Amino acid sequence: MSADTQIVNYVEESEFDVVLNGSEEKVVVVDFTATWCGPCRLVSPLMEQLAEEYKGRAKVVKVDVDRNKPIFKKFALRSIPAVLIFKDGILAETIVGVSPYEQFSEAVQKLVEAV
């Protein structure tokens, strides 16, 4: 997959609060990942699919834990992949580990419907 077709972008710590609170979408999905993490590579295409399915209703971003350790620690995460789903800037759901696509989409759907 080339970089220009990828719709899930990485965000840095400095942008994190802006993404959570300044996004047009009320629901923000954050995929905590790392380049060396094998299971993270399994979650990555699911995040792309999620971003496509919920375009305009939910924003999906990635955070590289190696470059953004403070955010990782802020949410008391101990392992990756970890997907945090926020609604109106507040953490609503945490999914740790490789999970089926349905688990991610159902969590997002529930929050999108509650808007």
Residues serving a catalytic function are 37, 40
Beta bridge partners of 59: 28
Integer Cα distance of 58 and 72 in angstroms: 21
CA 49 to chain CA mean position, Å: 12
Instruction: Measure the CA–CA gap between 71 and 32, rounded to whole angstroms.
Output: 9
What are the residues facing 27 on neighbouring strands?
A: 58, 87
